[in-house]
Amino acid sequence: MSALSLKNVTKIYSTGSVFGSRGQFRALDDLSIDVQEGEIVGLVGESGSGKSTAARIGSGLLSPSTGEVSLLGTRIDGLSQRELRGSRADLGFIFQNPYGSINPRDTIGRAISLPFRIHRRTMSASEIKTAVLDLLERVGLAPAEEFYGKSPSQLSGGQRQRVAIARAIALRPPMLIADEPVSALDVTIAGQILELMLDIQTELRSSILFISHDLGLVQTMCDRVLVMNKGRVVEQGLPSDVLANPSDPYTKQLIAAMPSRMTRKDLVG
Amino acid sequence: MTHPILDIDLLRVEYPSAASTSVAVQGVSITVQPGERVGLVGESGSGKSTLAFATMGLLKAPGVVTSGSISVAGRVMTGLPDSEFASMRGSSVSMIYQDPFTFLNPLVRVGDQIGEVLQLHSKASRREARVAAAVILDELGLGPGAATARKYPHQLSGGQRQRVIIGMALVGSPQLVIADEPTTALDVTVQAQILRLLSREIDVHKTALLLISHDLDVIRLMCDRVYVMLKGEVVEQGPVDQIFSAPQHPYTQALLASSRRDTVREAAQRRVALMSAGATEEGASL
């Protein structure tokens, strides 16, 4: 069964400018994405490609203009936020910015306990605290008791992203969406966060839709890759195949522009 | 014997505060020869940007050079008043900043912003500055330059703005350009264009480059020699080929391994092995 499926999804924004001209912007154009159970799928594209819009639609944060979105076989497009609440427990979302995704006034413990307080109404306060401490340990924020009472401002970027991961996996959701989870982090810290994500995925067997601008990273992390340009998937396949034999002109351009693949010769001419 | 265009000798930069003083740069020595391309790598907080700002005489308060010296084109700059630094900026050394969205003045036409650099140093009249701006915009692939010069920053894309910033850096024919993460905010295809352009321009103008980046691949591509910074100190330096093929310092080794995603690849391989083992177990139990 597919964990997450977007079928023929289109998203249109109407654009009114100060000069009065009216137009339509097609952020997603007949987009289909299918993430199978246990699979890590990479969604690659540059800014404006529609990859973040796709992530938001996949998570129910945004409704598509047309098309179907299903989470674990259940349609979630067109549902109200209230109706979505049940499905939300099945999906964890990890945002790019570890500084903006946690309420600065919450303690770390409270931030991570949020999913339990919403979706596990029968859990007692002490049960929730135990679960949160376990999660802190799991994401490498030890001693957990110490991190539990800290405020986000006392944490480094990497530590905050660990908190974001702890919250996203709190309910052991079958589906995770990660939107550029390490692009704001230093490369050594990014490596640790990615390792953590891979280990947790192996443990929970969750599916991951991994959104990134970094084709090299997606090759390392993912089972399958989809390349997006201008709201469409222009190429997909096994990461090693796509990198070795890209068929789409835009994919070729993207690969040729990777600094790791460029040589001095490519700088001339 | 040629004199280095930039000679930083045992520099120490501190940020004093009432509670405690933090040392951002400590005993750092860096030289850049005329026409040379030198890289400076390190992660956030390593002091690489502080070093760049100190060289430009633009340290943010309360940052202060407490010992060591910075010489530009044979002239010791440390200890000189701001006006001396100002006369050097843009004419001997210029800087390309990371963010193409905040650096440009939104209310001034881009041609005037480029021309201003020349007028500040009385290198050109207003009319000459305008012509020079149009010429360099053409050269930077933003032609027709005269038309682009009349545009405002918001009418340009991120990549185009970064070209304008490169134009501002080069129009005064400096001997050294310091580029602080010049492509970090850009998409990868635009990054490749900007790197190509920057490389060509510094070749044509015979300008030396000090390229600051956290991206080792970008440094390898663009530079001849590299300094590696960690916690305010240079821990290793040498020719790019040598440092990248045989790093000596443990931090450089770790940085290279992270950059190659070694540990992530290992975790991914572990995952694949465990997932397929799990699948077989499930199959056997059915």
Which chain B residues are closer than 8 Å to A205 by Cβ?
Answer: 275, 278
Sorted by sequence, the CB contacts under 8 Å of residue A24 that are 6+ apart come out as A12, A13, A14, A15
Predicted confidence at residue B2, as pLDDT, reads 73
**What local confidence, expressed as pLDDT, does residue B278 receive?**
73
Strand pairing class (B22-32; B6-15): antiparallel
Which tens digits make up the pLDDT trace of B200-216? Answer: 999 998 999 999 999 99
Nearest to A147 by CA among A158, A168, A132: A132
How much is the pLDDT for A38?
Answer: 95
Distance separating alpha carbons of residues B41 and B49, to the nearest angstrom: 10
| pLDDT > 70? residue B152 | yes
Residue B137 CB-half CA count within 13 A? 27
pLDDT tens digits along A177-236:
999 999 989 999 999 999 999 999 999 999 999 999 999 999 999 999 999 999 999 999
The full DSSP string for A2-21 is EEEEEEEEEEEEEEE-TT--
DSSP 8-class letter at B89: B
Per-residue pLDDT tens over the stretch A15-48: 766 665 667 889 999 999 999 999 999 999 999 8
Task: Report which of residues B120 and A193 the model is more confident about.
Answer: A193
Residue B163 phi/psi, 5° resolution?
Answer: -65, -40
Res B260: pLDDT:
93
Is A238 in CB contact (< 8 Å) with chain B?
no
Q: Are B198 and B182 in contact (CB under 8 A)?
A: yes
> How does pLDDT run across A114-160, given as a tens digit for each residue?
999 999 999 999 999 999 999 999 999 999 999 999 999 999 999 99
Among residues A8, A12, A98, A58, the alpha carbon closest in space to that of A210 is found at A58
How do residues B240-279 score in pLDDT, each as one tens digit? Answer: 999 999 999 999 999 999 999 999 999 999 999 998 887 6
The pLDDT of residue A100 is above 80: no
SS3 content of chain B, % helix, strand, coil (to 5): 45, 25, 35
Task: Tell me which of A226-235, B116-125, B176-185 is least confident.
Answer: B116-125
User: In chain B, which residue's Cα lies nearest the Cα of A188?
Assistant: B258
Residue labelled with tokens 């002091």 = B47
Q: What is the ipTM of this complex?
A: 0.89
| The pair of three-digit structure tokens given for residue B81, joined into one six-digit string | 């008043």
CA distance A218 to chain B (A): 11
Q: Give the residues across from A36 on adjacent strands.
A: A2
Give the C-alpha separation, B172 to B41, whole Å: 27
Beta bridge partners of A175: A91, A207
pLDDT at B286: 46
Asked if the Cβ–Cβ distance from A260 to B217 is below 8 Å, we say yes
Q: How many CA atoms are closer than 13 Å to the CA of A178, on its beta-carbon side?
A: 32
Residue A1 · residue A33 · CB < 8 Å = no
Which one, of A101, A103, A79, A104, lies nearest residue A92 by Cα?
Answer: A101
- From the list B188, B199, B258, the residue facing A254 with the nearest CB is B188
**Scanning the structure block, which residue is given the tokens 């050594």?**
A188
Distance from CA of B167 to the nearest CA of A (A): 18
> Does the distance separating the beta carbons of A254 and B189 come in below 8 Å?
yes
Shortest CB distance from B261 goes to which of A205, A220, A267? A220
Of A142, A144, A154, A152, give the one whose Cα is nearest residue A111: A152
How many angstroms separate the CA atoms of A229 and A224, rounded? 17
Give the C-alpha separation, A201 to A41, whole Å: 12
The answer to whether A109 and A167 have CB atoms below 8 angstroms apart is no
Interface mutation target, options B98, B195, B221, chain A, most CBs of A under 10 Å: B221
Q: Does A264 touch chain B if contact means CB atoms closer than 8 Å?
A: yes
Identify the weakest region by mean pLDDT among A241-250, B64-73, B122-131, B141-150: B122-131
Report residue B53 as tokens.
């700002």
Residue of A52, A202, A214, A255 to mutate for B, most B C-beta atoms under 10 A: A202
Q: pLDDT value at position B284?
A: 56
Contact at CB, B196 and A267, closer than 8 angstroms? yes
Let me know the angle formed at the C-alpha of A44 by A41 and A49, rounded to the nearest 5 degrees.
130
pLDDT tens for B58-103 read 998 899 999 999 999 999 999 888 888 888 888 899 999 877 678 8
Task: Tell me which chain A residue has its CA closest to the CA of residue B257.
Answer: A188
What residues have CB less than 8 Å from A191, skipping those under 6 apart?
B258, B261, B262, B263, B264
Decide if A202 touches B, using CB distance below 8 A.
Answer: yes
Mean pLDDT over B107-133 rounds to 90
Judge whether A165 and A141 are in contact, CB under 8 Å: no
Chain B touched by A186 (CB under 8 Å) = yes
H/E segment holding residue A235: strand A232-237
The residues that bridge with B94 in the sheet, in sequence order, are B177
Residue B222, pLDDT > 60, answer yes
Query: Distance from B43 to chain A by nearest Cα, in Å?
Result: 6
Closest-CA residue in chain B for A262?
B221
pLDDT for residue B151 is more than 80 = yes
Q: Which residues of A33-52 are buried (b: 16+ CB within 10 A; e: fewer)?
A: bbbeebbbbbbbbbeebbbb
Contacts of A101 (CB under 8 A, 6+ apart): A95, A160, A164
Task: Supply the pTM of this predicted model.
Answer: 0.90
